[in-house]
Chains A and B, each alone.
Chain A
Amino acid sequence: MREYKNFNGGCKFAFVLRVVCGCLLFFPMKVLAENRPNTFTSNNTYAAEIVREEKAKESCKLKVFTLEIRDKKTNEVAHVTIGGIGERIRSIENLYLFENNKLVVHGNLERADIIYVVECETHKVVDMFWCYDPVLAPLNRFWVYEKFYPYHGLKSIQTTVVLVYDMERTTLENRVPVKDYTEWPKVQVGLPIYPKPYVEAKAYVLPRQQQENSFWYLRSSPFLWSEDANDVVFLCNHEKQSYIVRVNIGAGIDKPKIFEAPVNVGSFVKPELPEEYRKKEAARLHMVSATQIIWDGKDHVVVKPNKAYYTLQDRIRLAIP
């Protein structure tokens, strides 16, 4: 009886039990967040973090994440769930909270990237798309990325289209109309800034690319923004030749200016190789792929070739066109 009384009367044991249970319920969320420092972000108004990670019901490969968005002034907390079938997110790469209170969640698919744009005020996911290698520009306004395509299947679709997403624009403003080709909402997001045929057509797909190899492009380096976020630089292969590409969006992402210069890949064969072999390699290599690209002064970049290009120098310095 005494124990019963104590239990109902708010005895110390009951209090401790309630605290422990409360902690156990709260524990997974907090520990998870603390172990993932890149899954927390804040600005003056909001703080956001991933507080829960679960396997999707439909497939154990897929994940569902719970985002907690806290209003710093009111301490009001809201939860947003992302992931599961149709989205196919596997892991979180990073969170970004912008001054306009848009939260970006950068996650990973099996082999590509997924971007969520969440409005903190409404706690709504206002955009979600698949892409490759998204890079945020220095002034935190533009994302540049490569349009998603599946790794296998039709070859003709596996071509590079470079897109820019403007955090200042609405969901609709970050799209171009889809005509004359198949709609694919989770991929057809952003404004095309490269290659030229896609920019001119304001299209994500050129029906001509189905049969004409001349429309086949393959980005071959990460993206590199200029400090003023006006230029994005990268390497791209086209017609069996590598190009150093600069796209200037200073006049707006609707009017990108494209500058390209072929890369004389053969001139970067390691000088220590035997002369005959060096000449042979120099004559053979016209394309290169880089794993890193960094600025070297205002007018040059240095790229690090993929290790598969083992006869090339470790660093290649290129003038920006």
Chain B
Amino acid sequence: MKIKSKTIFLTCLLLLSSFAVCARACPPPPCPNPCEYWGGPDVGCVCHEACCYDSDCDGFFECYSCNLDTCTCEDDQSKCSGCCKCDMGMCEDDDSECGDPDCWNCMDCECECDITINSVSSDDYACVGCDVTFTADVMGNCSCVDWSGGGDPESQDGGCTFITQWDTPDTYTVTATPDCGDSEKDKQVTVVECDVTSADVCQDKIHVNLEPSGLSGTLKLELTGPGGSHTIREVTRSSGSYDETFDVPNLSTGEYTKVKATWTVENSPCVDEYNYHIRVLGEYDHTCYNTPDESGCTGSNEWFSYTTGTCTVTDCTWTNAQGKSEWLDEIEENGSGKDVSGYIYSLEHYCTGNDYSPKLRRTGAPCAQCGGTVSVGDVAVKPSHPYLDCDDTVCVYGHGTHTVVDTGSGVAEAQLDHYTGVSACNVCTPPGNDIMTIKLF
């Protein structure tokens, strides 16, 4: 076994030595590209300069053309243009563009965009500011379709669909044109606008513009908000400008933040939402109160006592005076009054002593509980009212807007007490009961 192994080892060693000697003796390998020549073992195959380009922009020349005799290194003079394309077999990315294939010796351009546009479709009606999608029915390559006549964007190169929108109402025509051929097609679309330009519940007015002219559709007006929505009405309206009403007497209680108008023309609804924050409080009773004026009262003069102070503070120093009996009576029931000299009195409740009744407090002004003064047209609410506070503004349907400046514990929640100023001997005409009342924000 030892003898056999040794023999095999020697035989292999002999064979390897023979091969090494042979390799050193071989001729240089031929360059496979005919544009190249053998530059020696140190540089290998080298291009003939006439056939060289740094075609991939890597700083080294590459060799092209297979035949030195016919290598012309043409530029892309024969590159196909327009709607035609090269046979890709003849294209190479061989210039400094470094990316787009160029055609060489391109004699057999094939037309790529020989397409037919059969039709263009879209919705017949669209809304201002909304995307409209136009779709071309094309036989051939969609990239060869050019679009024009749009709004924003106005045009588009390529694509079987074109999405655009307009910001003014009108009828527009969008055209699809092929790069080659004459199969141009177009489509009309009417861009509709339903625009709420103003809203004022106290004026009972919602101004709506419906355009363009010549259309007719269903106009739906709603109030929407965090607690739900309320449909004001749904009516047929032609194009034009309208002052719609809120239909205030039939409003549902609730908080609303927008007026929403939907004009539906040929089943295409266009919506506009106008920011308008109100709270429909419901039907409230509206009473009135005043500061009874002694000069408008009757009765004999009677003694009364008063302290002097403010609506919150008094020093409890008593003074006696005389006033008409009816006037003093009014103060007792209603809380305040103005004497013939112009002084304002409220009922005193804290100070002890003195004989005459009623006992009043002379204050600088009527005691408005919100801290300011109370003027004609202002209203008082219940102090614990769930939705009305000092300085809030309310609209009383048919009676304008009013500011909350006063409170009254005896006022009910669904009641507003209107201040009518200093007048007669407590004579005031209340707006009435069950009147729709709305808080304005």
Contact = CB atoms under 8 A, between A and B. Distances in A.
A159 B409 contact: yes
Binding site secondary structure of chain B: loop
Interface in A46-95: 58-59, 61, 85-86, 88
Interface string B273-291: 0000000011110010100
B386 A285 contact: yes
B384 A218 contact: yes
Interface residues of B, number: 57
A237 B282 contact: no
Contacts, number: 160
Nearest to B253: A310
A157 interface: yes
Contact of B333 (A109, A179, A276, A306): A109
Contact of B414 (A59, A186, A308): A308
A237 B384 contact: yes
Given A152-B334, A205-B350, A85 B282 contact: no
A65 to B, nearest CB: 17
Given A85-B326, A85-B329, A306-B413, A152 B408 contact: yes
Given A59-B326, A182-B348, A306 B335 contact: no
A311 to B, nearest CB: 7
A183 B384 CA distance: 28
A263 B348 CA distance: 34
Contact of A182 (B335, B351, B385, B425): B351
A309 B332 CA distance: 32
Q: Name the residue in B281, B289, B384, B385 with the highest tally of chain A Cβ atoms < 10 Å from its Cβ.
A: B384
Nearest to A185: B357
A158 interface: yes
Given A111-B410, A181-B349, A285-B386, A152 B289 contact: yes
A86 B329 contact: yes
A188 to B, nearest CB: 10
B396 to A, nearest CB: 15
Nearest to A276: B226
A287 B409 CA distance: 14
Binding site secondary structure of chain A: loop
B385 A308 contact: yes
A210 interface: yes
B349 A157 contact: yes
Contact of A150 (B284, B299, B333): B333
Nearest to A111: B410
B226 A218 contact: no
Contacts of A149: 409-410
Q: Name the residue in B281, B329, B359, B409 with the highest tally of chain A Cβ atoms < 10 Å from its Cβ.
A: B409
B387 A88 contact: no
Contacts of A153: 334-336, 346-347, 367
A269 B37 CA distance: 95
A151 B226 contact: no
Contacts of A264: none
Given A88-B329, A158-B408, A310 B282 contact: yes
18 contacts: A150-B333, A151-B289, A151-B334, A152-B406, A154-B361, A155-B407, A157-B347, A160-B409, A180-B352, A181-B349, A182-B351, A273-B228, A276-B226, A277-B227, A277-B228, A289-B382, A308-B281, A308-B284
